[in-house]
Every structure is written in C-alpha cells, then in structure tokens.
Chains A and B, each alone.
Chain A
Amino acid sequence: MSRTLAPAYCVVQQPGNLGFQARMLFNDSNSEAARLFMQTNADTPWLNPGQIVIVADPGSTQTMQMLGALRQAKQKTNTAFVGVTSDEASFMQQHYGLIAALTTAGDKVFGAIGDVGERYFSEIENTLKKIEVSYQNQFRSQGTLISQQFFAERNQLFNQLKELVNKPLLKSLIRNAVKFRPYEDMRRALNLSSRSIVHEWSTVGLAGIPGYSSYVGNAAKAAKFLKSGGYIGMGFAFAGTTNDVVNACVKGRESECKRTAFKEYGKFGASTLAGLGGGAAGSLAGLGVCAAIGIATAGTGAVVCAAVGSIAGGYVGGKASDSVMDTIYEYMGI
C-alpha cells in the first residue's frame, strides 16, 4: 500500500561523504530508502555541517513540486558554503540561530518585522561597513589611527550605530524565534536512526517563507566574523600602539622612545583588559536591561541583548580606560 509522506530534508551534523551521511542517517544503510537517498543526493558527494540532504520515502508518491523545491533550496544552501572550511561550517551549523540574530540576515529570520526590519538591519550593516572602511582608509593612507579627523569620523559613525541599536525594535525580536519541528512520521516510516533530525519539506525556506536556507548564507559569513572580529580589533590596537612606539624610537631620542613605549603599551594593556571586562559586564547588564523591559532571558532576542550589551560594554570600558590613563599620565608629567 502506498503511503503519502512528503519528502523531507536533514541538516548535516558532521563532515563526510554521502555514504557516511547515509550510515549516520539510516539504521539500515542497504535499505530501499537509503538507496533512494544516495540517488537523490548524488550531486553532493561530500557534505559539510549545515548543508542539507534530501530524504524521501520510496513508498510514497512523490510530488515533483515538493522535490523540485527541496532541490532548489539544497542548491542555494550549498552555494552559500563555497569557500567555507569544515571547521567554520561546523561552528556555523551549531550556532546558526545565534549568528543569524547578530547579522543583517536578521530581517529574514525575524520575518514578522518585514520592511521596517530590513531597513533597520541594512542601516546597521551600512554603518558597520562605513566604520570598517574608515579604519582601513586611515590605516592605509596614514599608517596610524590617531588623526583628529579619523576620531571625529569614527565618533560620528559610532553615534549613528548607538542610535540604531537603541531603537525599541529590539523589543519585538523575542516574538520571532524560528522553530524547526523534527519530522517524526518520516523517521518512523524509514527506520531512521535516533541521532538524525529530519525536517518536513515546507520548512526549508521557499518563496519568501523564512527557513533554513534563507539565512544560511549570511550566517556562514558571520561565523568567520564572530570568531575573529574581536581578535582583529585587538590586533589593530596593538599595531597602532607599536606603530607609535616605533615612530618615537626612530625619530626621537632614546629617553623619548622608552617614555612612549611605557606610556603606549601601558595604555594598550589597560584598555584591552578594561574592554574585556566591560564586554563581560556589558553582556550581563544588556540582558538585565532587556529582562527589565520585558524581553525574556532566553531565546534569540536575549542573545541580541547580550551581544549588544557586550559590544557597548567593551567599547565603554576601552574608552574609559583611555581617559583614565590620560589623566594619570598628565599627573605624572609624561
């Protein structure tokens, strides 16, 4: 008797070839369902975490529309993984919800926000890009990050960013957690292993419905950003400090060289540590503020609160430390 199970997809958990994925997915990798799986997914001989594979029931009458839509989504997801290493893909797959919440894909994830959300996240993205370009231009043209013009430009951009993240839109994010329901019928019918989580075909993200493939592209890019962004910031600060010291040592007297090294590295150490502490405290404070205004302390909205708090706390910590060190240096006459 023929069944009527719609095709489904499964998000790859571990890197490996198609045969490996079949063994992970099916209790009996020689079953008819497993053979159909190998045939349907033959276009992707190697898979990274986060990519999707199609699981179909050989006993059901497949509708071409459903399979076609799944193939399209699969292709879209696979394209997003070009140039992403297994480690990055694995990190992205584990944390895609969190990463997506922090990126411009937010408007897609939080579909209910619609056009307003799209503009909001685009504005944040544009401001962040301007800040990045401003740093790059200044460093390329001047070799330092200390000119007044640069500070003025940076302050203006950070103020714009502050205005954006302070908008009450954040409050509405909590409503929009994306949930994927495991497709239990398919698991039972095809004797799939209990490790595998299979999703019904319509949740894959089609024709404007926010789903997995809709934001996987931006999330994959953000995985790199989230992991390395902080280190790049510290690297820039260290490079700027070293540049000042080298300049003083090349141009100035020996005493000037020592004085600048002491002053600048002391400032770098204090502001980095204060930034780290501020980031940790800001994350807790951000979540506390969100909890106070009615956003729950768990879920995607809460992650955004913690992240915004962390960035703001780190920034304030670093700036405050710079000001503290300037006051002390002035007092010491150096």
Chain B
Amino acid sequence: MKSALMILIMLPLFCFVASVIFYLNNRARYQELISDFQQKYTLPTPYLLHCNMGYIGSPLMTYFFMRLKQNKKILFLNRKDNAYNFAHEGQNRRKIDSLKPLYYIFIFGFSCCLLLSLIALAIKLNAILD
C-alpha cells in the first residue's frame, strides 16, 4: 500500500516535468495553432486570457483545441459558433493532434492529484471515525 502511495506521490511531479518538456518542444506549433485560430475566429474570454500565459495557460488551451477537434461543447463558446469548424479546416486537425500528448499528460497529472485528494480525505475520515 505504502509503495503504491509513494509512486502516486511522485506521478504529479513526473507529469509536470514531462508537460514542460513537451510544451517547450512543441511551443512553435502550439503558438501557430492559436495564431491560426485568432486570424479567423475570436477566442472566448477565459481562453483569450490563457493563450497569452505560455505554459501556464496551456492546460486550458489544450482542452479548448481537443474539444474543438472532438466537436464537443466548449464552455463559453456558443454551440452554433462557426469556430467549431476550425478543427476541420486545412491541416488544423493534424496540428491539434500534435497537442494530444500534452493534453493527456495534464489529464493524467490532474487525475493523480484528485486521487491523492480522495486518499487524504479517506485518511481524515478514518481518523475522525476512529
């Protein structure tokens, strides 16, 4: 149990390091994608803020582009907005695909953090019940 917990504790750090390395390697493509989008469409407010924040804004931006590619509803972007067509224009789908690993690294890292929170909650509850 403790060994598994030790591995789980280190996973967010590995995800963080991996995401930084991946972001730095793909920064040009990431920025090109944002710039391509902004040439044709307007980014909704939270994404407009985060697209200027470099690596720190990349979790929200990767979420935005992945949802666009999957043609799923994006928060604060009207379902009827033409921006939903962006992923299906030209080479955009391929460009979004290149961000896929970054997106999944973040999802995995956040899930580990969530799992750690649930474990901490269980520990606290156990202590209270005991």
Interface residues of A (CB under 8 A from B): 91, 95, 98, 226-227, 230-231, 262, 265-266, 268-270, 272-274, 276-277, 279-280, 283-284, 286-287, 297-299, 302-303, 305-307, 309-310, 320-321, 323-325, 327-328, 331-332
Contact = CB atoms under 8 A, between A and B. Distances in A.
Contacts of B9: 262, 266, 270, 325, 328
Contacts of A266: 9-10, 12-13
Given A266-B9, A328-B5, A280 B59 contact: yes
A306 B120 contact: no
Nearest to B75: A284
A306 B50 CA distance: 9
B120 to A, nearest CB: 4
B40 interface: no
B116 A98 contact: no
A227 B55 CA distance: 10
Nearest to A307: B49
Given A270-B112, A276-B106, A324-B120, 12 more contacts: A91-B52, A230-B54, A269-B13, A273-B110, A280-B60, A280-B63, A284-B60, A287-B76, A297-B44, A303-B45, A331-B123, A332-B6
B68 interface: no
B10 A226 contact: no
A298 B10 contact: no
B88 interface: no
B80 interface: no
Interface of B: 2, 5-6, 9-10, 12-17, 44-46, 48-50, 52-57, 59-60, 63, 75-76, 106, 109-110, 112-113, 116-117, 119-120, 123-124
B11 to A, nearest CB: 8
A277 B110 contact: yes
A306 B10 contact: no
Contacts of B120: 323-325, 327-328
Contact of B45 (A297, A325, A328, A331): A297
Contact of B76 (A98, A227, A284): A284
A297 B76 contact: yes
Contacts of A268: 13
B116 A324 contact: yes
B113 A283 contact: no
B46 A287 contact: yes
Given A280-B60, A283-B60, A324-B120, A227 B52 contact: yes
Nearest to A290: B45
A262 B110 contact: no
Contacts of A320: 117
A327 B52 contact: no
A269 B15 contact: yes
The 3 closest A-B pairs by CB, nearest first: A269-B13, A230-B56, A280-B60
A35 to B, nearest CB: 34
B50 A283 contact: yes
Contact of A226 (B2, B14, B52, B106): B52
